[in-house]
């Protein structure tokens, strides 16, 4: 480890022509006085990934108490199973009477949505925003809200509920939903750009080749003062930034060169769902690696989504498949979508686990919840939810376990536990009745 006599500030940012680039945690950011005693204090991060419309639980749920024999939907988690837990028999009681709107709304709030089609909607502050109010005080963005669907639907969407409940995972107060961004270019600019309107940012982007070109001089000066290990970390981080830029630019070029009109997909969004999702996951990785934010939410698809997945051979719209009527062929196709979504999350976990951070990896220093607000979508059931928890080694969380509760347990217990593990201590969250002791060790 190379330690300078005067530690580099953790919030070191390279700037140039309206661009800013935060750095990952470096050895040189550890004060020399404590270098011999301990590594840098881990920065806790909290992430939530929402999977719509439940899952085929027969292909999701592990048989034993470990993940040594993964069920079909979870098989892509094999490379990181030692840092993943599957939880069974959780419930969102306040999501009843069952609906798609309440599934989405209750996932992070565990609160009952007010039945209304108007603007007098009311829910509850979500777990990510409770964390952001404390964890986000020292970061550029208190939290980052992302989605895959670029649509603004208003009015009534599901069983008399306003569309706001399906469109937004995060709520900073019971009356303040936080819209999510699905355009990779705009997310990139929110992380590293200088602000301004969307039109202004897009115009500025056309005038410059790369964010890195405008911080090159500062990077060269910085690297001269770093040790070999830190120089390698910086180089790896900048390569990832460059690759994300390249993929965004390629997506823009591909769409611009398409002679057919495309009114539903803004310029810069990859045509492939998988490519789009991977890019959004990579942006989350960059945001956490650079400590731009420590709290993220990501909606893999909107409830009632009619998206098809021809890239995996499923041409049926997702929502009708979720109402499968126990038709084995339809259930199998829905399970294929479930496995596809999990595989993208698994790729993200592997990247986090391959990214050094302090005395561990980004995955070690992060806690991520993946799951749905529905169990069996054919019944609009909010019991026995498909839930995964990944990471958290630095917070004392063990992996490779299937935790099946003996009694139906509020999902709010897990939210309360995740907050506790990242240092945000509450006595109660929504309808919680205690901590998940298996994750509190």
Structural domains in the chain, sorted by start: 42-182+269-439 (3.40.720.10)
25/8 Cα distance (integer angstroms): 10
Q: What is the pLDDT of residue 350?
A: 98
The pLDDT score that the predictor gives to residue 269 is: 79
Q: Cα dihedral sign for 345, 350, 353, 356?
A: negative
How many C-alpha atoms does 413 have within 13 Å on its Cβ side?
Answer: 20
User: What are the per-10-residue average pLDDT scores of the chain (441 residues)?
Assistant: 48 55 66 45 84 97 96 98 98 93 97 93 96 88 91 65 92 92 86 60 54 69 76 73 68 53 49 94 92 94 93 96 96 98 98 92 96 95 97 92 97 97 95 90 55
The span from the CA of 392 to the CA of 82, in Å, is 11
Q: What is the pLDDT of residue 376?
A: 95
Determine which helix (DSSP H) or strand (DSSP E) holds 288, and give its type and residue range: helix 273-289
Q: Which two tokens stand for residue 185?
A: 């270019």
- pLDDT in the model for residue 230: 76
240 to each of 21, 90, 163, 367, 385, how far by Cα in Å?
12, 37, 36, 22, 35
SS3 363: coil
């Amino acid at each position: 480890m190379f330690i300078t006599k005067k530690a580099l500030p953790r919030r070191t940012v390279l700037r140039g022509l309206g661009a800013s680039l935060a750095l990952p945690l470096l050895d040189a950011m550890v004060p020399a006085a404590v270098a011999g005693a301990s590594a840098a204090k881990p920065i806790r991060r909290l992430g939530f990934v929402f999977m719509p419309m439940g899952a085929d639980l027969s292909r999701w749920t592990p048989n034993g108490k470990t993940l040594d024999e993964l069920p079909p939907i979870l098989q892509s988690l094999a490379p990181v199973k030692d840092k993943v837990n599957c939880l069974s028999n959780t419930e969102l009681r306040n999501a009843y009477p069952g609906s798609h709107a309440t599934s989405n709304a209750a996932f992070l709030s565990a609160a009952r949505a007010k039945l209304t089609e108007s603007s007098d909607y009311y829910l509850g502050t979500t777990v990510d925003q409770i964390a952001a109010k404390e964890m986000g005080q020292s970061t550029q963005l208190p939290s980052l809200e992302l989605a895959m669907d670029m649509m603004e639907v208003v009015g009534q969407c599901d069983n008399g509920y306003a569309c706001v409940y399906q469109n937004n995972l995060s709520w900073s107060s019971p009356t303040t939903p936080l819209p999510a961004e699905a355009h990779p270019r705009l997310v990139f600019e929110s992380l590293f750009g200088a602000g301004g309107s969307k039109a202004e940012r897009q115009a500025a982007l056309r005038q410059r080749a790369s964010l890195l070109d405008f911080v090159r001089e500062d990077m060269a000066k910085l690297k001269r003062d770093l040790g070999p290990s830190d120089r390698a970390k910086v180089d790896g981080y900048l390569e990832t930034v460059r690759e994300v830029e390249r993929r965004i630019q390629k997506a823009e070029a591909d769409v611009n060169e398409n002679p057919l009109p495309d009114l539903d997909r803004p310029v810069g969004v990859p045509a492939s769902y998988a490519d789009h999702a991977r890019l959004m996951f990579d942006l989350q990785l960059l945001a956490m690696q650079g400590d731009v934010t420590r709290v993220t939410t990501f909606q893999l698809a909107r409830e009632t989504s009619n998206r098809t997945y021809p890239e995996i051979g499923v041409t049926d719209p997702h929502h009708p498949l979720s109402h499968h009527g126990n038709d084995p062929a339809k259930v199998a196709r829905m399970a294929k979508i479930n496995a596809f979504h999990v595989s993208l999350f698994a790729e993200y976990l592997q990247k986090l686990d391959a990214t050094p951070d302090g005395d561990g990896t980004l995955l070690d220093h992060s806690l991520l919840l993946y799951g749905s607000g529905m169990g069996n979508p054919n019944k609009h059931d909010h019991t026995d939810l498909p839930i995964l928890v990944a990471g958290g080694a630095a917070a004392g969380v063990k992996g490779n376990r299937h935790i099946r509760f003996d009694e139906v347990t509020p999902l709010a217990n897990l939210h309360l536990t995740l907050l506790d593990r990242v240092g945000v201590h509450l006595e109660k969250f929504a309808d919680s009745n205690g901590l998940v002791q298996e994750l509190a060790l």
